[in-house]
Chain A
Amino acid sequence: MIALFRAEFLKLSSTRTAFGLFIAAIVVSVLPAVLVMSLVPRDALSDGGATIAASGLTIVPILAVVFGILGMTNEYRHGTITYTYLTTPRRGIVMIVKLLCYGIVGTAVMAATALLVVLAIALIAALRDIALPWFTASSVSDLKTLRDAGMFLLASGMMTAFGVSLGALFRAQVPTVAGVVVWALAAEGIITVIKPRVGIYLPFAAFQQLTMGGSLRVGEGGGLPSLTRPEAFLVAIAYITVFSVAAVFTSMRRDVT
């Protein structure tokens, strides 16, 4: 098992996929943060502007799913799955190692990206002499802030693992990536508008609720329904489990030709 982890990390470090994910994450999160913090008037930023500046981070978990998909579909695309299964004929073990390994790397990349976003916002705020409520001593050490950060990382790792299971199940890289992006950015939103009570149980909504913890709950009693964090966690885990089991089951039956 340790040998397989070593091999997976070597696979990741010897290609540009993880680095590409990191660059893409920076482009969609750090760059907008820098632009917003540099160009928006100071007064506007003092009042919740930093939250808008960091909003690019909400797209980053979708990249995590794509990263997971690439991790698995690249094996089929480049034919390396032949060597993977020759060295480890027990295909279920391959799947478990990939889920864990990509989960760890996805979490690490997202952590680095989030850190860069926070640093960029703090640096520009300091340079422009903007007081952000985020960076007060009490706010940083606040349990809620730490919990939010932890949940963001947990959700990122879980989304990467979810991507791995999707990739293993569908194998075809381009259609899977395209399908997931369309689903995440359009289909789920449409379903949620039409059927909000169904929408909250959809995969990306579950991951988002895990990250944001009740922020979808707009107005207690009369607003949109939402899941608590433990509920969202259970739904997200259920998606990963169901897709992973389906992926293992199908990969065990599939021929590698």
Chain B
Amino acid sequence: MAVIEAEHLSKRFGKKVLAVDDVSFAIQPGTITGFLGPNGAGKTTTLRMLVDLVHPTAGSVRVLGSRYRDLARPTTRVGALLDASGFHPGRSGRNALRVVAASAGLAYDRVEAALEMVELGGAAKRAVKGYSTGMKQRLALAAALLGDPEVLLLDEPANGLDPEGIRWLRTFLRACAAEGRTVLVSSHVLAEVEQTVDDVLIISRGKLLAHGPISELTRTAQPVVRVRSPQAEKLEALLTAKGAAVNRLGSALAIRGPGSAEVGELAHAGGVVLHELLTEQPGLEDLFLQIAGTRRES
């Protein structure tokens, strides 16, 4: 049975903004799913609809088989990091978590455990207004973990974390999956989650573009041909004329469409000198650009 399900989910704000457009997906237990898309794609709105903070205009969502509001003691089943700034600035980190724990009917022991888990035990007495962005992010993660939930919904958890914090987050997410928890983690920085997630949901402009295991999606994706040339601009023009999708940064080109042989032949015919020519299996970022690009064209 899917742990998180969305069926034909849509959300419209006012008359003009269609934030989420007919999105359907199902997330299996014990997986880490990356919810990927650029800023404003509809990730946060979708996550908030999962926990009843935002009401869908159409469609339905179920977490652990029922609506979030119908779950008994929901924070012990679903932990959500949705807003790292959602703490009263005058409260200490410990008291901020105690408020959440008290509302959820949890013992204060859980607060200390969660603080230690996110390595904020030493700063627990300090007022939240004195916390860095990364510390607030850890505090929000601690709040999500308070009820020791089986499902975690994390909205951009790496925001504000330093490289060490991001590495810690990766290890933490892996540990969560190893414990059998289901994690849905959103991010707009694709490289950040590439090493961590099993499955991906790719969303752009409110539409779900792809859903599946990351290995499968990247395997079926078109390879990228990378070229370095002192005449990159000329080669770009030649490739574009042939209908290839080209991204150029200085003397480097990333080409989708033709294979490396075609690119080499075209360069030779056009008298373009190449310093490098190789084929790469696309990463998550390339995959996203491909999918989003294809959708835009269609």
Q: Could you say which of A10, A11, A16, A256 contacts B54, with CB atoms under 8 Å apart? A: A256
B260 within 8 Å of A (CB atoms): no
Interface membership of chain B positions 40-57, coded 1 if the CB is closer than 8 angstroms to chain A and 0 otherwise: 000011001001111100
- Give the residues in chain A near B95, CB-CB below 8 Å: 10, 14
Count of interface residues, chain B, beta-carbon cutoff 8 Å? 33
Task: Given the known inter-chain contacts A3-B102, A6-B102, please indicate yes or no for A82 contacting B82, CB distance below 8 A.
Answer: yes
- Give the residues in chain B near A10, CB-CB below 8 Å: 95, 98-99, 102
Name the CB-closest residue of A to B84: A79
A255 within 8 Å of B (CB atoms): yes
Interface membership of chain B positions 111-131, coded 1 if the CB is closer than 8 angstroms to chain A and 0 otherwise: 000000000000000000000
Closest beta carbon of chain A to B77's beta carbon, Å: 11
B270 within 8 Å of A (CB atoms): no
Closest beta carbon of chain B to A194's beta carbon, Å: 39
- Give the residues in chain A near B182, CB-CB below 8 Å: none
Closest beta carbon of chain B to A82's beta carbon, Å: 5
Is B48 a contact partner of A255 (Cβ separation < 8 A)? Answer: yes
- Give the residues in chain A near B68, CB-CB below 8 Å: 89
Interface membership of chain A positions 1-26, coded 1 if the CB is closer than 8 angstroms to chain B and 0 otherwise: 00110110011001110000000000
Is A255 a contact partner of B102 (Cβ separation < 8 A)? Answer: no
Is B88 a contact partner of A255 (Cβ separation < 8 A)? Answer: no
Alpha-carbon separation in the docked complex, A3 to B99 (Å): 10
Alpha-carbon separation in the docked complex, A240 to B105 (Å): 29
Q: Could you say which of B55, B75, B102 contacts A253, with CB atoms under 8 Å apart? A: B55
- Give the residues in chain B near A86, CB-CB below 8 Å: 51, 53, 74-75, 80, 82
Is A83 a contact partner of B103 (Cβ separation < 8 A)? Answer: yes
Alpha-carbon separation in the docked complex, A81 to B86 (Å): 8
Count of interface residues, chain A, beta-carbon cutoff 8 Å? 27
Determine which residue in B51, B52, B83, B102 has the highest number of CB atoms from chain A within 10 A of its CB, and name it: B102
Q: Once A and B bind, how many residue pairs between them come within 8 Å at the CB atom?
A: 86
- Give the residues in chain B near A4, CB-CB below 8 Å: 103
- Give the residues in chain B near A6, CB-CB below 8 Å: 102
Is the contact region of chain B dominated by helix, strand, or loop, or is it mixed? mixed
A73-119 CB contacts (< 8 Å) to partner B: 74, 78-90
Is the contact region of chain A dominated by helix, strand, or loop, or is it mixed? helix
- Give the residues in chain B near A90, CB-CB below 8 Å: 69
- Give the residues in chain A near B13, CB-CB below 8 Å: 255
B19-49 CB contacts (< 8 Å) to partner A: 44-45, 48
B175 within 8 Å of A (CB atoms): no
Q: Could you say which of B74, B82, B89 contacts A89, with CB atoms under 8 Å apart? A: B74
B90 within 8 Å of A (CB atoms): yes
Task: Given the known inter-chain contacts A85-B52, A255-B48, please indicate yes or no for A80 contacting B87, CB distance below 8 A.
Answer: yes
B92 within 8 Å of A (CB atoms): yes
Alpha-carbon separation in the docked complex, A88 to B105 (Å): 10
B281 within 8 Å of A (CB atoms): no
Is B89 a contact partner of A78 (Cβ separation < 8 A)? Answer: yes
B205 within 8 Å of A (CB atoms): no
A257 within 8 Å of B (CB atoms): yes
Task: Given the known inter-chain contacts A14-B95, A85-B52, A257-B54, please indicate yes or no for A74 contacting B88, CB distance below 8 A.
Answer: yes
A140-166 CB contacts (< 8 Å) to partner B: none
Where the two chains meet, the residues of B that have a C-beta atom closer than 8 Å to any C-beta of A are 13, 44-45, 48, 51-55, 68-69, 74-75, 80, 82-83, 85-92, 95, 98-100, 102-105, 143
Minimum-distance CB pairs A-B, first 9: A89-B69, A79-B86, A7-B102, A87-B103, A7-B103, A3-B105, A14-B95, A256-B53, A255-B54
21 A-B pairs within 8 Å (CB atoms) are namely A3-B102, A4-B103, A10-B102, A11-B99, A14-B88, A14-B90, A14-B99, A15-B88, A15-B90, A79-B85, A82-B86, A83-B86, A83-B103, A85-B53, A86-B51, A86-B82, A87-B74, A87-B104, A89-B69, A255-B54, A257-B45
